[in-house]
Amino acid sequence: MRAFGRSAYGTGRVSRQRVSIALVVDASPDRAFSAEDLAALVRLDDPGIGLATVYRALAAMESSGFIEPVGERNGAVVYARCVDAGHHHHVVCTCCGMVEDAECPVGGTSAGANGFRITGHRLVLYGICPSCQRAAPEPGDEPGRGRFRVRPASRRAG
Amino acid sequence: MRAFGRSAYGTGRVSRQRVSIALVVDASPDRAFSAEDLAALVRLDDPGIGLATVYRALAAMESSGFIEPVGERNGAVVYARCVDAGHHHHVVCTCCGMVEDAECPVGGTSAGANGFRITGHRLVLYGICPSCQRAAPEPGDEPGRGRFRVRPASRRAG
DNA sequence: TTAGTTGCAAATCGTTTGCATAATT
DNA sequence: AATTATGCAAACGATTTGCAACTAA
């Protein structure tokens, strides 16, 4: 197997399954997705793909920088495709899960206050996308349309 | 039961257990801790405290802004005490788990690019604290001292 | 060949919950 | 007295892992 997939996984072999998975992820650059979401989509083409395979691919894509975890939905981690090449972040619609790359507003801090040597950071912006804003009656209310609510990662239900 | 604890939990009743828990958290403002860590510390004074109680207290303290999840350790979420009152973030030593409050470097973005109405963000800075830097032979190597490795939240082992 | 990948099913294990009891307000 | 918190133990459920078969390189 060749071509696409190489870039998504960085290193390692590129199996038929990994190509399918990478293609689906590549085709959904503006939507946060969970392992189950991804599996469901991939199964449209390859019904026999196993969840474990998806999880393993997810881990590989994350460490290669092809995707990044951006929150959770019902206790499951949701990821976003990293469209931009370099260092960047994501804005996630907490209502529908829409995602867009965002520039990194964090600067200078790499100097490190209090003697810390800063090695990195994780930032995710949350908001309401244009589409969901339109659907929301009261600006300020959490729109009720989305079936993909994303929440800042940390714990399960509430 | 009264006094301390009120501020930590925002609303709700303040039981003996919740006071003990809040006291321990308050006494560890510079260390990331997991539910198990916290339970172990609290049990020094109150051996009978249940893990579920700690988890419930953790949830309450998080929603009241007394603590914030800052990563994970062996698949368990680790929290940091929010020393500062207002909006701020944390710098976490990925080696030993030491934590310090950090100012928010994110500005203006509240305007929202691409039409998003930004409602919030989550930022955690990672680095090596002065103490661990001293313990690290090669500047650049991940020090090997810490027994509390913290990793950016997302998934379990690797 | 040879090492990395897959699918399946079982195992993990941090976290959540139901319930009867105890304690706060 | 009314309501909320606690402890225990069982339940959850997303994610991980062992393993034999398979396959990209």
- Output A154 or B6, whichever has higher pLDDT: A154
- Identify whether the C-beta of residue A28 lies closer than 8 Å to the C-beta of residue A67: no
Residue of chain B whose Cα is closest to the Cα of A90? B121
Model confidence at A143, in pLDDT bands (50, 70, 90)? low
- From CA A88, how far away is CA A57, in angstroms rounded? 22
In DSSP terms, B71 is beta-bridged to B78
pLDDT of residue B22: 97
Is A34 within 7 A of strand C by CB distance?
no
Residue A157 lies in a domain: no
- From CA B34, how far away is CA B26, in angstroms rounded? 14
> Which of A38-42, A56-60, A109-113, B81-85 shows the lowest mean pLDDT across its residues?
A109-113
DSSP conformation letters of A115-132: G-EEEEEEEEEEEE-HHH
Other CB atoms within 10 Å distance of the CB of residue A51: 12
Residues in chain A: 158
Average pLDDT, chain A: 87
pLDDT of residue B138: 59
Residue B9 lies in a domain: yes
Closest residue, CA to C1' of D14 = A76
Residue A75 lies in a domain: yes
Q: Which nucleotide is nearest to B14 (CA to C1')?
A: C24
C-alpha distances out from residue B40 to A29, B34, B81, B127, B145, Å: 43, 10, 17, 26, 22
pLDDT of residue B119: 92
- From CA B55, how far away is CA B76, in angstroms rounded? 12
Residue A123 lies in a domain: yes
Number of domains observed in the structure of chain A? 1
Is pLDDT above 70 for A110?
no
Mean pLDDT across B75-86: 94
Residue A147 lies in a domain: no
Structural element, H or E, at residue B7: helix B6-9
State pLDDT tens for residues B40-78.
999 999 999 999 999 999 999 999 999 999 999 999 999
> Which of B4-13, B93-102, B126-135 shows the lowest mean pLDDT across its residues?
B4-13
Phi (first) and psi of residue A63, to 5 degrees: -70, -15
Mean pLDDT across A23-44: 96
Is pLDDT above 50 for A158?
no
Model confidence at B137, in pLDDT bands (50, 70, 90)? low
- Output A151 or B1, whichever has higher pLDDT: A151
Query: In which domain, by residue range, is B114 found?
Result: 2-134
pLDDT of residue B11: 86
- Tell me the count of A-B CB pairs closer than 8 A: 130
Residue B26 lies in a domain: yes
pLDDT of residue A157: 38
Contacts of B109 in chain A (CB under 8 A): 102, 105, 125
Is pLDDT above 50 for A156?
no
Average pLDDT, chain B: 87
Mean pLDDT across A12-38: 95
Residue A151 lies in a domain: no
Residues in chain B: 158
Mean pLDDT across B86-96: 94
Residue B145 lies in a domain: no
Task: Kindly report the CATH number assigned to the domain that includes residue B100.
Answer: 1.10.10.10
- From CA A80, how far away is CA A92, in angstroms rounded? 9
